Structure 1
């Protein structure tokens, strides 16, 4: 893509999510998919999958096109852009499968495109399986290199050390290039890990909303999260051993929660409500 082909964007920010190791229950990519759909996002740029994927591990598929002709669909990393209504900033949305090869080259290519478009803030999304009860709010942790994002997010800072995914590398490359970055992770209950997990997706959407300080469209996501919750509750009703296990997780969770932390969580949710209400009125 040449500079002449790059549309003029209004102070854009960027969100990225990847299928694979970083995406328990598809919670992270579902967040980006939700925003692409809600905002009718258009393709901004595509990266050549030939450079980054092992096609025996990430196979292309054959599917009918819009005109009914079957064609091969390659696992192409795609950047979308959107101009959300009632928002004075545009958005880039990256949706991709985690690459098999050349991570640093891949991330440098993404960051270069982002910088040419004027992006100054990058948010990467991830989801992991954890010993957390589905009956409590989804734990969301994160890290950032920017004091403004730190203040907006008010997240428990991640203390993780160990193997990393592409989101961490992308955040590091972006930070070295001078972008403000935040990596946000949702914890998915491991005993209900089958995708989708709309409750975790809703938790990630709320954290992104906090990061940018504007209301984001929920669409049917809240209703889907409530339906997911009911389904998980029904599962417990059919398995007494699982019920006892979840009750033990609840005890551990509640013993570790401080009243201040609960108060902060309630305050953040109320602030999100006010932002969305303000957007609806506008």
Structure 2
């Protein structure tokens, strides 16, 4: 993509999620998929998958086309462009399978495209399995190099050390290039880890709202989250051992949570409601 092909964007920001190790219960990529659909996003740029994937591990697939001939669909990293209604900022959204090869080259290519488009802020999304009870709010942790996003994000700062995924590398490359970055992770209850986990997706969407300070469309996510909650409750009620285990997790969680933390959560949710009103009233 040449500079002449890049449309003029309005103070754009960017959000990225990857299938694979970084995406427990598909919660992170589901957040991007939700926004792609809500905003009717269009393809902005694609990276050649030949350089970054082991096609024995991430296989291309045959898919029917409009003329009835099956086409080969490759695992192509794709950047989408959206101009959300009622917002004065445009958005780039990256959705890809986590690459098998050349992570630094991959991230440098993504950051170069983002910078040429004028992106100043990058948010990466991830989800992990954790000892978290499904009956409580989904824990969301994160890190950021930006004081503005740090003030907006009332998150538990991640203390993780150990193996990392592509989201961490992308955030690091972007930060070294001078971009404001935030990495946000949702903790999915490990005993109900089958995708989708709409409750975790909704939690990530709320954290993104906080990071950028604008309202994002929920669509049917709230209803789907409630349905997921009911399904997890039914599963727990049918299994006495699981019920005892969840109760022990609840005790641990409630002991760790301070009363003021619950008050802060209520305040954040009310702020999100106020930001979201112009989007939901039309």
**Residue 136 of structure 2: SS of its match in structure 1?**
coil
In the other structure, the counterpart of 2:220 is 220
Cα distance between partner residues in 1 of 2:281 and 2:228: 29
Query: TM-score when scaled to structure 2?
Result: 0.99
How big is the shift at 1:237?
1.2
In the other structure, the counterpart of 2:131 is 131
| Root-mean-square deviation over aligned CA pairs | 0.8
In the other structure, the counterpart of 2:54 is 54
In the other structure, the counterpart of 2:196 is 196
C-alpha contact (below 8 Å) 2:185/2:204 kept by paired residues: yes
- Indicate yes or no: 2:49 matched with 1:36: no
Which consecutive aligned stretches of 4+ in structure 1 deviate over 3 angstroms post-superposition? 278-282
Cα distance between partner residues in 1 of 2:87 and 2:193: 34
**Residue 133 of structure 1: SS of its match in structure 2?**
coil
**Residue 267 of structure 2: SS of its match in structure 1?**
helix
In the other structure, the counterpart of 1:260 is 260
Cα distance between partner residues in 2 of 1:66 and 1:226: 36
Deviation string for 1:128-171 (max 9, x for gaps)? 00000000000000000000010111111000000000000000
Alignment of 1:94-243 (within 5 A): 94-243=94-243
How big is the shift at 1:281?
4.8
In the other structure, the counterpart of 1:271 is 271
Cα distance between partner residues in 1 of 2:69 and 2:155: 48
Cα distance between partner residues in 1 of 2:73 and 2:66: 13
Which runs of 5 or more residues in structure 2 are unaligned? none
How big is the shift at 1:212?
1.0
In the other structure, the counterpart of 1:89 is 89
Which has the higher mean CA deviation after the structures are superposed, 127-136 or 253-262? 253-262
Which runs of 5 or more residues in structure 1 are unaligned? none
How big is the shift at 1:43?
0.2
Cα distance between partner residues in 1 of 2:130 and 2:186: 9
Alignment of 1:1-80 (within 5 A): 1-80=1-80
Cα distance between partner residues in 1 of 2:74 and 2:268: 40
Query: TM-score when scaled to structure 1?
Result: 0.99
Which has the higher mean CA deviation after the structures are superposed, 67-76 or 164-173? 67-76
Number of residue pairs aligned between Structure 1 and Structure 2: 282
Cα distance between partner residues in 2 of 1:180 and 1:263: 28
